[in-house]
């Protein structure tokens, strides 16, 4: 039996290091790699099921074509026929319109390995076309983090184990990021507290020391209410020279009515003050901004308001503290397929973009 070291390419928090066992060219077993510092030899249920996935008799393995669109009458065709049908249609569109702007693609998740970007490379090779831009999952939050801090850096996930209080705001790692939970449990074993703020009583919320059930879309207002308490109780650890717009921000907090915040968010004033006490008196504190926070019209404001709590309380650059949103380490690779040079067109300068 041969053992191969590889990495799961699924689009999730884990990027699990795997050991794949093959015998006579067939995958017979997968396991976690114990040498990997984050996953430490474990996989999720989907990871362990890779052998079932690869050899499932219902897995789609060949091109299929409907004889009439919407009929549901699917017929298997050869790879050669599939390539020809697609290529001929693209050539016909080019002949009709004089460019490839009528050709485009919109793909997203599933896996996010480097080969995921072969589609972009192929379309770039045919010249200007129609591209989708943006990110359905996290574009709003990423922009908000950039506006707050100027970069997208998040602390290493292992550092959470030494935090003294962890605020999980709109995330459910007990289901969506199971490997992170061991570091959260380690923090609690060391005396740390776990606070979960979420409209729903999730699996992660069931494990929290404090669960705060907030009305959907009011995260920014709650964060401002907590900030007001920090300001009132003189628990601020920044100076105005370290924060652009501090005076304007402070004025907003001073005018904010805590009773109104409680009414609109569904979080009573005692709980708001308790959250401020945790932010203001316990160090280091970690804040985890979940993806759900930024999927409404106040999403960017919410992420920025929560980010401000970490800055105000002195936890932003503190070891084992800080703010988590996303790790974009995939972009550290050359990304040769994604950045494959676009073929020149005699009349059209570049591709056109449509908002995702």
pLDDT in tens, 91-104: 999 999 999 999 88
Long-range CB pairs of 338-345 (<8 Å, 24+ gap) are: 338/117, 338/120, 338/121, 340/120, 340/121, 340/124, 340/125, 341/124, 342/124, 342/127, 342/128, 343/124, 343/125, 343/126, 343/127, 344/127, 345/99, 345/127, 345/128
Mention every residue, 6+ apart, whose C-beta is less than 8 A from residue 241. none
Alpha carbon distance 225, 169 (integer Å): 15
Contact 303, 297 (CB under 8 A): no
Query: And the tokens for 104?
Result: 């485009």
Whether CATH 3.40.228.10 fits 139-324: yes
Query: And the tokens for 91?
Result: 């050539």
Other residues' Cβ atoms within 10 Å of the Cβ of residue 249: 18
Question: Which residues make up the CATH 3.30.200.210 domain(s) of the chain?
Answer: 2-55
**Per-residue model confidence as pLDDT tens digits over 234-255:** 888 776 556 788 889 999 999 9
Is 38's pLDDT higher than 80?
yes
pLDDT given for residue 324 in this prediction: 94
Alpha carbon distance 25, 271 (integer Å): 59
Query: And the tokens for 35?
Result: 């040498």
Angle at 171 between CA 168 and CA 175, to 5 degrees: 115
Question: Which residues make up the CATH 3.40.228.10 domain(s) of the chain?
Answer: 139-324
SS3 state at 263: helix
**Per-residue model confidence as pLDDT tens digits over 65-81:** 998 889 999 999 999 99
pLDDT given for residue 122 in this prediction: 92
Is 294's pLDDT higher than 80?
yes
Alpha carbon distance 110, 46 (integer Å): 12
The CATH T-level fold of domain 2-55 is Phosphorylase Kinase; domain 1 (3.30.200)
Contact 162, 188 (CB under 8 A): no
Q: Which of 193, 169, 172, 170 is nearest to 181 (CA)?
A: 172
Alpha carbon distance 209, 76 (integer Å): 55
Q: How much is the mean pLDDT over the chain? A: 91
Output the DSSP codes for 270-326. HHHHHHHHHHHHSSSEEEEE-GGGGSSTTHHHHHHHHHHHHHHTT-TTSTT-EEE--
Contact 30, 19 (CB under 8 A): yes
Alpha carbon distance 311, 279 (integer Å): 10
Angle at 272 between CA 269 and CA 275, to 5 degrees: 150
Give 327's DSSP letter: -
E strands, 218-278, where? none
Mean pLDDT of 175-182: 94
Alpha carbon distance 337, 118 (integer Å): 6
Cis ω for the linkage preceding 284 (within 30 of 0)? yes
pLDDT given for residue 12 in this prediction: 85
């Amino acid at each position: 039996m041969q053992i191969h070291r590889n990495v799961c390419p699924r689009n999730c928090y884990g990027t699990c290091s795997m050991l794949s066992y093959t015998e006579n060219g067939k995958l017979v077993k997968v396991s976690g790699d114990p040498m990997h510092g984050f996953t430490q030899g474990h996989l999720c249920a989907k990871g362990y099921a890779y052998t079932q996935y690869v050899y499932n008799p219902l897995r789609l393995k060949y091109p299929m074509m409907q004889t009439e669109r919407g009929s549901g009458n699917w017929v298997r065709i050869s790879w050669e026929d599939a390539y020809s049908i697609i290529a001929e249609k693209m050539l016909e569109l080019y002949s009709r319109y004089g460019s490839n702007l009528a050709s485009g693609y919109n793909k997203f998740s599933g896996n996010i390995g480097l080969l995921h970007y072969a589609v972009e490379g192929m379309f770039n090779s045919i010249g200007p076309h129609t591209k989708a831009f943006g990110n359905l999952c996290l574009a709003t939050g990423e922009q908000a983090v950039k506006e707050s801090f100027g970069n997208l850096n998040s602390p290493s996930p292992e550092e959470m184990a030494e935090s003294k209080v962890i605020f999980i705001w709109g995330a459910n790692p007990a289901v969506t990021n199971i490997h992170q939970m061991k570091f959260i449990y380690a923090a609690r074993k060391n005396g740390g507290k776990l606070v979960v703020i979420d409209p729903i009583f999730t699996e992660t919320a069931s494990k929290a020391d404090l669960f705060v059930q907030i009305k959907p879309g009011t995260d920014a207002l709650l964060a401002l209410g907590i900030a007001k308490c920090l300001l009132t109780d003189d628990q601020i650890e920044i100076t105005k020279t370290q924060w652009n717009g501090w005076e304007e921000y402070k004025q907003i907090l001073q005018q904010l009515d805590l009773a109104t915040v409680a009414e609109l968010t569904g979080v009573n004033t005692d709980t708001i003050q308790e959250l401020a006490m945790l932010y203001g008196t316990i160090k280091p504190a970690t804040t985890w901004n979940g993806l759900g926070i930024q999927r409404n019209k106040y999403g960017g404001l919410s992420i920025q308001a929560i980010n401000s709590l970490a800055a105000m309380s002195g936890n932003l650059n503190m070891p084992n503290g800080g703010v988590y949103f996303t790790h974009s380490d995939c972009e550290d690779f050359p990304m040769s397929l994604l950045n494959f040079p676009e073929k020149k067109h005699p009349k059209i300068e570049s591709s056109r973009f449509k908002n995702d």
